[in-house]
A and B are shown apart, each in its own frame.
Chain A
Amino acid sequence: MEVQTESNVIRFPQWAEDKRQIVSFGGGGFSMEAANTLLDDYVLSLSGKERPRVCFIPTASGDADHYVARFYRAFSAERCIPSHISLFRRERGAENLQAHLLAQDLIYVGGGSVISLLGTWRAHGLDRMLRSAWEHGVILCGLSAGSLCWYSEGVTSFHGEVKRYRGLGLLPWSNCVHYGDEDGRREAYHAHLQAGMCPGYAASDGAALHFVGPRMVGAVASRPKARAWCVGDRGEAISEKPLPIRYLGEPPAPTGSGDLSAVA
């Protein structure tokens, strides 16, 4: 038997072969758009399974009971196999975190405080477990704090003032959510980019960025006016490049089309 050495492994740059996927929402989904299921439908369709296993992680909200209840209403057992992980209420939620996370098709991270989210995750080793789930092909998604967490860094205005944070770094970019929807966030993001924050992606409420590996392969929207941008410091000025975005509600209504070629 021939042992393959590092040198003769051909590394294709083809992102299509990469099974690591992240969908980050600038805002939206059941947490923010009660009557609009387009973004949630989109992430559910990505696994290609009829009833994907979906695990909700509400840490950023302090595992708020009402939030968990809303998740179970939105992700009913008819369309998926829902579960959640609670790091504050040990008597509820899954027991063996690592095994449970690896068994999922989709991990959905809720909104709230990204600083609290990351602190709690690191204390429980969830940062490592989520990276490993991602590497094993579990699709990661989330809104707001649940978007910010996947990037190297970014800005959060959860503290009143806009602050820089360090994320898990699965995506080697920076991130800004609710872009253009909340006063001061965009300007603060630009200021941080000029001060040396790495370039990244900004998304408004209702816009979601789909990544395969570190590469952005498409943006989708649950609202016709939702937008996403690639933002970076060009030296003299901030470059804010609008990304092509596909509105998921356009007729003919998408019938669970999750294939990448459609969005790339």
Chain B
Amino acid sequence: MRWPDANGSRGRDSEVSISAGPAIVAGAGPIVAMGGAEFVMRPHNEALHDYVLRLVRRPGPARICLLPTASGDPQEQISSFHAAMDRRDCKPTSISLFRLGETSVDLEGHLLEQDVIYVTGGNMVNLMALWREHGLDRILVEAHRRGTVLCGYSAGSMCWFEFGVSRGVGKPVSTRGLGLIEGSHCVHYSQDPLRRSAYRELVAAGALPPGLALDDHAAAMFREGRMVEAVRSTESAAARRVESSDGQVIETPIETRMLRPVERCRESALEEMRELRAYLGRSGPGTRRR
């Protein structure tokens, strides 16, 4: 048990114990689980993305690759990711498993040279099935071992845990993830009542191991399988530990640190204005061209 409040009580059924997941490796990269986020330029989104990028230790622009698999690789999402990352000092790319035919991509080579791998939300059942089908499960575990920062929101957050709760077609169901983090995980906790109640029922019944519930704009950072801290980018976003005791669900709030994005946002907005001015007039005090 690698939770901060570990109590060692993991007398689980075989379903759970099979998924022991890959052994935790010293020096493995951090994982940031986000309960919900977007690439739209809003202070709370910007703060989370800055938080993720600050985890990169290598100097120079961070290489960050988007995996939009869970939502079927929609172009609008890919474009808004690029727009969000272009505002920062990083080198964004994306891999679309549905359009691999258009450009030949060395999946393993490309993913293993990233500093950050960012997984979007969508359908977790599809996400896991597609990763297995394309061998990405293995590649992502290897990237993790080599120190790559793994992150994502919604399905892209639950995928790193042993189990998540997928709201696919019909009723929410427990879905197996990569198992890099022990336990279960539920996203959009305060935003999606149907998922929340399904998750609570599954944990209460012992069908899911205890785990982490995150609201939209709440995130938790893990290193070597242990939660290091929880953060939030809006005042109300909460993180909770959910477990069962005698068939009852117990929710324990996890303290979160508020991320302050305002300065960075103002700065980037100013920078954009300067760039725009430079582009339009190619003159004036705002010119950043050397």
Are A120 and B101 neighbours in the complex by a CB distance under 8 Å? no
B129 proximity list for chain A (CB < 8 A): 119-120, 122-123
Q: Which of B74, B105, B128, B168 contacts A62 (CB 8 A)?
A: B74
Option from A60, A61, A90, A119 in Cβ contact (under 8 Å) with B123: A90
| Residue pair B130, A116 in contact (C-beta under 8 Å) | yes
Q: Which residues of B contact A158 (CB under 8 A)?
A: 100-101
A88 at the interface (CB under 8 A from B): yes
Whether the Cβ atoms of A116 and B74 lie closer than 8 Å is: no
Q: Total interface residues on B, using CB and 8 Å? A: 28
In chain B, positions 99-143 with a C-beta closer than 8 Å to chain A are: 99-101, 103-105, 122-123, 125-126, 128-130, 132-134
Known pairs A64-B74, A88-B123, A123-B125; A116 contacts B101 (CB<8 A): no
Nearest-Cβ distance from residue B211 to partner chain A, whole angstroms: 22
Chain B residue contacts of A61, Cβ below 8 A: 72, 98
Chain A residues near B96 (CB-CB < 8 A) = 62
Closest Cβ of chain A to B166, distance in Å, is: 10
Q: Chain A residue with minimal CB distance to B97?
A: A116
Pairwise interchain contact A113-B169, C-beta atoms closer than 8 A = no
Return the chain A residue nearest B100 by Cβ: A159
Interface residues on A, range: 20 to 34
Task: List 19 extra interface pairs beyond A61-B98, A63-B72, A65-B74, CB under 8 A.
Answer: A62-B72, A62-B73, A62-B96, A64-B72, A88-B71, A88-B123, A95-B169, A113-B97, A116-B98, A119-B130, A120-B126, A123-B128, A123-B129, A124-B168, A158-B100, A159-B100, A159-B104, A160-B100, A160-B105
Binding site for B on A (CB under 8 A): 60-65, 87-90, 95, 97, 112-113, 115-116, 118-120, 122-124, 157-161
For residue B21, give the distance in angstroms from its CB to the closest CB of chain A. 19
Contacts of A65 in B (CB 8 A): 74
Min CB gap A220→B, angstroms: 26
State whether the Cβ of B167 lies closer than 8 Å to any Cβ in chain A: yes
Please report the C-alpha to C-alpha distance between residue A160 and residue B71 in the assembled complex, in whole angstroms. 22
> Can you offer 18 A-B residue contacts whose CB atoms are under 8 A?
A62-B71, A62-B74, A87-B123, A87-B169, A88-B122, A88-B123, A89-B72, A90-B123, A90-B167, A115-B133, A115-B134, A116-B98, A119-B133, A120-B129, A124-B168, A159-B100, A160-B103, A161-B104
